[in-house]
Amino acid sequence: MQKRLLIVSNRLPLTIEKKDNIYVQRQSSGGLISAVEAYIGGAGKEVFTEQLWAGMPGIDRETWEKAESGDSHYAYLPVFTDEEQYEQYYNGFSNSLLWPLFHYFPSYAEYDPATFQAYIAVNQAFCDAILAQLRETDVVWIHDYHLLPLAGMLREKHPGLTIGLFLHIPFPSYELFRVIPRKWQKALLEGMLGADLIGFHTAEYVAHFLKTIDMSLKISHDNQYIQWRNRQVQVDAFPVSIDYNLFHDAYDRQDIRDLRNKYSSIKEGMKMLFSVDRLDYTKGIQNRLIAYERFLHRYPEFVGKVVFVLVIVPSRDSIAKYNERKKMIDEYIGNFNSSMGTIAWQPVIYQYDHLEFADLTALYGTCDVALITPLRDGMNLVAKEFVASRKDGQGVLILSEMAGAAAELSDALLINPNDTEEIADTIATALQMSPEEQKERLESMQQVLMKYDVNTWAADFFNELEHIKSQQLKFEVKFLDNFSKAELRNRYEAGKNRLLLLDYDGTLVNFSSIPSGAAPEEELLALLSGLCEDSRNDVYIISGRDSQTLDRWLGHLNIGLIAEHGAKHRKPGEKWSHEALAVSTGWKDKIEKIMDHYVFRSPNSFIEKKDFSLAWHYRNADPFLANRRAQDLYEELVEYTLQMPLDVLNGHKVIEVRSEGVNKGFAARKVLDAASYDFILCIGDDKTDEDMFKVLAGVPGAYTIKVGHQASFAQYNLYTPFLVSSLLEMLSGTHTEVFKYSSDH
């Protein structure tokens, strides 16, 4: 099937030049463009037959229509908007609110309702332009913070569309995001959730986003999966990378060799530090200069023997804070060079201009130390480019731990960009590092970049996008209608070996404020007894409850019991046995102490102790307080159990810790392996039951039902436990008229 990729970014990847009174399009360069180019020229060839790029062209409509097309892999879809509106959208909301706030500069953020209105209006202009050209089979790939509401706008018009969103900057902690006015928060987050897959650079940004939607929108999520408006949305980390071979192989190009020789003459036997950055307050350029000056004072033996080549690329000159930043840097370097330099030596060589690829890679290859110290950065590809460029295995990378790249480039010398003394000492360490250690560190980082280059990054993103779309087809709300009920009953009656796997709380009975209050009534016991008496039926109650409770309530029936989500099981008339995985319980004392702290801080919550698990229930606690406590407890337990063979379950008003590998899916698989069945009915209401539904997906003769209106891996949904009882009564041949009335009304 032919598939088109529709890439959407704030600006089109081109420049319009006027030559001899003729306007000509020229494809421009940049990190995103390079990334997409590498993918389209590689793995993307097999996936997409056509590429369309939507964005602002940077010129008016009349000039665009005059311009002649240049060489490009893309067809372009220009988006036009009013100049003043674009200014408020771009320099206003995007770069005077989102950019500083997402980079942890809240004091720089400006809250102007007019810019928010412009932001929404421009996103709507993008939406309208795309809808005019959209095909149902298109895959839409939206990029960055300028276009956060766009996915939701497109989803509203085309519910089945495939949409990916990638954020190229950090996503901040909830404590920062929450300072945005609530109406704006809602528009941003709901817009992002219009995508099928939301990509971030690091797991930290993913965690911040999940906590933010939990606190701001009060919606549930299961680690990387979010249930939103009857859809499953996936959130994951995809650390953007570079075209590794492009930078690595450039080392041997003759023109770059010549440039390296030219720049080596600048060194004249000195050591060279090199930095290249856009002009931005997030880059920590001022701190870098202060640290370098401090280094020269603390290590005077390097005075006159080291030079710092600093290239700053112009950026957002029209924003006042950027002009102020440039003025400060210019003045600092001027004073620095005049106070410490001599006629023969200047400590800083400074250029405020763009660098061509050849000059950039030649400087990467010439310098002794790359100094990359942003105060906060989504990823920072400069660090990766430097590492890839050093085919000679020499050179040292000093990298800010606040850059996303630090998670991958752990063999760099990592520093706190706010600690100028640490940076000064690290410069000295880098300049004195042995060639053998330099080579070892670089080769380790190069291996990382080779394995996950830009082509792998894009392919990984699209593989996950395809995966979540296939998951959505399985994971949807489909209520059991009369036709399906009739089919299910016919299959049941025709079955000779039938298996019923039934959850208890929330499925056979409504939830109770205290666990003991959910004991089965006579009607339910009679119903289960009737089902068990049929020799063709194997009936199992598969529950999170402890074995003693299940024994007390249901042990007298000819029924199979599975307790604690599969940790313990009992066949009819036999004794309880447990899984080998669940034997060790030495962890329980420490986990209980952690939970006790949250019981104290959340009145009316309590701990349920089981043989192989512990559960903290907060159904009866204050919802607002308890939801916050539950998230804190969940995160604390996940962190505490990271290196332990335990699973932390974030269930329905309960946080449970249990042995790793013990779940209802594992338990259901054991039952299936022990016998052959031609009819299977599995019913559950909780996240824990999804493991059963997944195991039974595609099993011949299996019907799976989710209780409630949430999307699920189950084939069907029923609203309430009452309707479950009615269904079971229908199968057992009693009270069919009640069932019909309930389902029809």
Listing DSSP states for 145-187 in one string gives GGGTTHHHHHHHH-TT-EEEEE--S----HHHHTTS-HHHHHH
Domain-located, residue 446: yes
DSSP code string of 657-679: EEETT-SHHHHHHHHHHHS--SE
Question: 12, 4, 133: which is closest to 67 by C-alpha?
Answer: 12
The predicted pLDDT at position 21 comes to 67
* Same domain as 677, residue 573: yes
SS3 state of residue 212: helix
- Please identify, among 179, 214, 237, the residue that sits at the C-terminal boundary of a domain: 237
Residue 17 has pLDDT above 80, yes or no: no
The predicted pLDDT at position 477 comes to 63
* Same domain as 412, residue 283: yes
Q: How far is CA 349 from CA 264, 271, 344, 425, in A?
A: 14, 13, 13, 21
SS3 content of the chain, % helix, strand, coil (to 5): 50, 20, 30
Q: How many domains does the chain have?
A: 4
* Same domain as 211, residue 330: no
**CATH code where residue 592 lies:** 3.30.70.1020
The range of the structural domain enclosing residue 568 comes to 475-579+662-744
Domain-located, residue 343: yes
* Same domain as 651, residue 672: no
User: By the 8 A CB rule, do 718 and 684 touch?
Assistant: no
Instruction: Give the mean model confidence (pLDDT) for residues 305-313.
Output: 95
Q: What is the average pLDDT score of the chain?
A: 89
Domain-located, residue 287: yes
* Same domain as 648, residue 613: yes
Residue 168 has pLDDT above 70, yes or no: yes
* Same domain as 674, residue 655: no
Domain-located, residue 460: no
Write out pLDDT tens, residues 697-737. Answer: 989 989 999 998 777 889 898 888 888 999 999 998 864 44
- Please identify, among 207, 237, 267, the residue that sits at the C-terminal boundary of a domain: 237
Domain-located, residue 465: no
Q: Which residue has the tokens 């369309």?
A: 52
**CATH code where residue 514 lies:** 3.40.50.1000
* Same domain as 447, residue 390: yes
The number of beta carbons lying within 10 Å of the beta carbon of residue 511 is 14
* Same domain as 210, residue 275: no
Continuous H helices in 475-602: 482-494, 522-533, 547-554, 588-601
Residue 177 has pLDDT above 60, yes or no: yes
d(CA 350, CA 284): 16
Lowest mean pLDDT among 337-341, 590-594, 620-624: 620-624
The number of beta carbons lying within 10 Å of the beta carbon of residue 474 is 16
Domain-located, residue 470: no
DSSP annotation of 408 reads: T
The predicted pLDDT at position 742 comes to 34
* Same domain as 395, residue 292: yes
Kindly indicate the confidence band of residue 476, based on its pLDDT and cuts at 50, 70 and 90: low
The predicted pLDDT at position 686 comes to 85
* Same domain as 202, residue 251: no
Residue 468 has pLDDT above 90, yes or no: yes
Domain-located, residue 447: yes
Residue 542 has pLDDT above 60, yes or no: yes
* Same domain as 512, residue 385: no
* Active-site residue, selected from the candidate residues 214, 503, 685, 691: 503
* Same domain as 539, residue 603: no
Q: Tell me the range of 7-16, 234-243, 564-573 where mean pLDDT is highest.
A: 234-243
The predicted pLDDT at position 29 comes to 61
Instruction: Give the mean model confidence (pLDDT) for residues 681-699.
Output: 91
Domain-located, residue 467: no
Q: What burial class does residue 362 get, using C-beta atoms within 10 Å of its C-beta: 0-12 exposed, 13-18 middle, 19+ buried?
A: buried
Kindly indicate the confidence band of residue 639, based on its pLDDT and cuts at 50, 70 and 90: confident
Strands 654-659, 646-650: pairing kind:
antiparallel
> Which residue(s) pair with 227 in the sheet?
232
| Sign of the torsion angle spanned by Cα atoms 156, 159, 163, 169 | positive
- Please identify, among 632, 659, 686, the residue that sits at the C-terminal boundary of a domain: 659
Write out pLDDT tens, residues 285-301. Answer: 999 999 999 999 999 99
Kindly indicate the confidence band of residue 239, based on its pLDDT and cuts at 50, 70 and 90: very high
Residue 622 bears catalytic tag: no
**CATH code where residue 302 lies:** 3.40.50.2000
